């Protein structure tokens, strides 16, 4: 249907209002940085200065992130040295610009969905409010860069014809870039490949190979085997204090009194006989969970392959697979921390919910987790339940109950059973 000038002006006005709301909310976030701790001040600026004065990442010092993060971490210092601002505000402004580009993708993606205007506005309001709640972490790391690329990938999958090679190539470039920011998304290569609409397996392999080459060729040539340093770093890390396994240890310790926390950052792990057992279980559980996820997702995709020709079915399965993977990762990883909550915010904003009830329930669950893990306001009362379990341990359970429920919800949405209803 041809767009009339009146319809175009109305759409343009709505788009401008949305962007203004985004800018106002994010200017407030920029004007209210965290007062206690920032990875940018603590680590990133130090890394950038080390590189500027001669220490090569991976080879001459332990750098914990993959190579695509290097220009993101270094650019604010380069601007600083050229007389443009200071490192910390430069970094936050840089992430703001990256988020702005992602937000445009989100808005365009949402406005193309065959859902009600209420659903679109609710998703955008959720996204804006979530960023304000998590303001102490929103611009303090690489998490928006990481899952910003996955969000743009999912938006691109919806907006483009994925049977065309160049469109699939961009999909794979976005995917391999996310892997080059954090390796966590690497297992998703399997379901993304299986969901291909390419008629030839060789064509999809070529798109994946070229996409990976475009993203990874420079780091591989520059650092070669030295890149394994960040793999070794993460493989040797203990259970982080915010992980689900650590919470289980603390609950058991309420009864056994055998564990204690080691005051060594950044992980602050628990130590003791129970901790040793849970850590060993987690070291097995995590790879097994990923393997089972890949087998399960592959089976679901192959069973529903004929239904994926419909764009909304394809989008629902694609997004649900990524979200179920994220929450599965949260529940099994040993290095969970508060900034990880940023990952699912843009993904939930573009998820095509089929009912308003599920949309509201998921958004409220997400906001609850953000309030518990990224703000200091939702505190537990002092005291103990049955003189044994501290009330703050019961409060911490609310961090994981929504994760479990959301994993179950999105895992159930992976299997396409019928034509989705209009929300």
Task: Give per-residue pLDDT as tens, 268-304.
Answer: 788 899 999 998 998 899 999 999 999 999 999 988 8
**Which parts of 113-142 fold into alpha helices (H)?**
117-133, 135-138
360 neighbors 368 (Cβ within 8 angstroms): no
Which tokens belong to 146?
A: 């990481």
Look at residue 63 in the predicted model and tell me its pLDDT: 84
Q: How far apart are CA 213 and CA 309, in angstroms?
A: 29
Q: What is the mean pLDDT of residues 143-151?
A: 93
355 neighbors 421 (Cβ within 8 angstroms): yes
Look at residue 328 in the predicted model and tell me its pLDDT: 96
Q: What are phi and psi of 422, to 5 degrees?
A: -80, 120
Examine the pLDDT at 423 and tell me if it is beyond 70. Answer: no
Beta-bridged to residue 61, according to DSSP, are: 57
Look at residue 150 in the predicted model and tell me its pLDDT: 94
The residue count for the chain: 423
| Nearby residues of 418 by Cβ (< 8 Å), 6 or more positions away | none
> 250-255: long-range contacts at Cβ-Cβ below 8 A with a sequence spacing of 24 or more?
250/393, 250/396, 251/389, 251/393, 252/278, 254/388, 254/389, 254/390, 254/393, 255/388
- Nearest by Cα to 402 from 378, 376, 372, 357: 372
Q: Name the one residue in this structure whose structure tokens are 């289980």.
A: 248
Which tokens belong to 298?
A: 């592959």
> What's the whole-model pTM score?
0.92
pLDDT in tens, 361-398: 999 999 999 999 999 888 888 888 888 888 888 898 88
Count H helices, E strands: the chain? 18, 4
Examine the pLDDT at 422 and tell me if it is beyond 70. Answer: no
For a pLDDT cut of 70, what percent of the chain falls above it? 96
Mean of per-residue pLDDT scores for the chain? 89
- Nearest by Cα to 70 from 96, 100, 42, 50: 50
Q: What is the mean pLDDT of residues 399-422?
A: 82
Query: Residue 53: how many CB atoms within 10 A of its CB?
Result: 7
For a pLDDT cut of 90, what percent of the chain falls above it? 53
- Nearest by Cα to 195 from 166, 216, 172: 172
CA 201 to chain centre: 29
Q: Write the CA distances from 219 to 44, 69, 71, 77, 378, integer angstroms.
A: 19, 11, 11, 20, 43
**Which parts of 375-390 fold into alpha helices (H)?**
none
Q: Would strands 260-261 and 384-385 be described as parallel, antiparallel, or unpaired?
A: unpaired
Would you place residue 310 in the very low, low, confident or very high pLDDT band (cuts 50, 70, 90)? Answer: confident
Q: How far apart are CA 52 and CA 82, in angstroms?
A: 13
The alpha carbon dihedral of 57, 62, 64, 66 has a sign of positive
Instruction: State the DSSP code for 262.
Output: -
Q: What is the largest CA-CA distance in the chain?
A: 72
pLDDT in tens, 43-102: 999 999 999 988 888 888 788 889 999 999 999 999 999 999 999 999 999 999 999 999
pLDDT in tens, 265-276: 777 788 899 999
Q: Name the one residue in this structure whose structure tokens are 């049955």.
A: 386
Q: Which helix (H) or strand (E) holds 181?
A: helix 165-181
Would you place residue 306 in the very low, low, confident or very high pLDDT band (cuts 50, 70, 90)? Answer: confident
Would you place residue 1 in the very low, low, confident or very high pLDDT band (cuts 50, 70, 90)? Answer: very low
Which tokens belong to 197?
A: 């609409």
Q: Name the one residue in this structure whose structure tokens are 């609409």.
A: 197
């Amino acid at each position: 249907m041809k767009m009339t000038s009146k319809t175009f002006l109305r759409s343009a006005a709505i788009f401008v209002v949305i962007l203004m709301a985004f800018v106002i909310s994010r200017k407030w976030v920029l004007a209210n940085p965290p007062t206690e701790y920032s990875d940018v001040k603590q680590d990133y600026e130090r890394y950038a200065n080390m590189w500027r004065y001669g220490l090569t990442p991976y080879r001459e010092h332990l750098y914990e992130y993959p190579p695509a993060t290097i220009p993101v971490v270094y650019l604010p210092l380069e601007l600083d040295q050229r007389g443009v601002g200071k490192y910390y505000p430069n970094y936050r402004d840089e992430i703001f610009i990256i988020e702005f580009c992602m937000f445009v993708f989100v808005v365009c993606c949402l406005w193309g969905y065959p859902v009600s205007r209420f659903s679109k506005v609710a998703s955008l309001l959720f996204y804006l409010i979530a960023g304000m709640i998590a303001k102490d972490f929103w611009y303090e790391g690489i998490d928006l860069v990481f899952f910003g690329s996955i969000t743009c990938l999912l938006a691109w999958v919806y907006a483009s014809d994925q049977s065309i090679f160049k469109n699939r190539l961009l999909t794979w470039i976005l995917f391999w870039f996310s892997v080059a920011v954090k390796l966590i998304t690497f297992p998703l290569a399997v379901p993304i490949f299986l969901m291909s609409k390419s008629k030839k397996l060789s064509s999809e392999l070529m798109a994946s190979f070229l996409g990976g080459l475009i993203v990874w060729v420079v780091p591989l040539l520059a650092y070669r085997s030295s890149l394994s340093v960040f793999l070794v770093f993460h493989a040797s890390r203990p259970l982080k204090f915010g992980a689900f396994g650590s919470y289980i240890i603390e609950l058991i310790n309420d009864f056994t009194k055998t564990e204690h926390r080691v005051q060594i950052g950044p992980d602050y792990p628990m130590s003791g006989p129970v901790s040793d057992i849970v850590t060993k279980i987690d070291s097995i559980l995590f790879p097994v969970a990923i393997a089972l996820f890949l087998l399960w997702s592959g089976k679901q995709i192959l069973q529903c392959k004929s239904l994926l020709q419909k764009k909304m079915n394809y989008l629902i399965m694609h997004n649900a697979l990524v979200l179920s993977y994220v929450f599965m990762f949260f529940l099994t990883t040993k290095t969970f921390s508060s900034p990880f909550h940023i990952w699912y915010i843009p993904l939930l904003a573009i998820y095509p919910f089929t009912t308003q009830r599920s949309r509201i329930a998921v958004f409220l669950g997400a906001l609850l987790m953000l309030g518990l893990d990224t703000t200091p306001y939702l505190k537990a009362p002092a005291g103990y339940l049955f003189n044994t379990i501290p009330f703050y341990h019961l409060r911490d359970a609310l961090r994981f109950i929504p994760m479990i429920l959301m994993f179950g919800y999105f895992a159930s949405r992976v299997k396409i059973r019928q034509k989705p209803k209009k929300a």
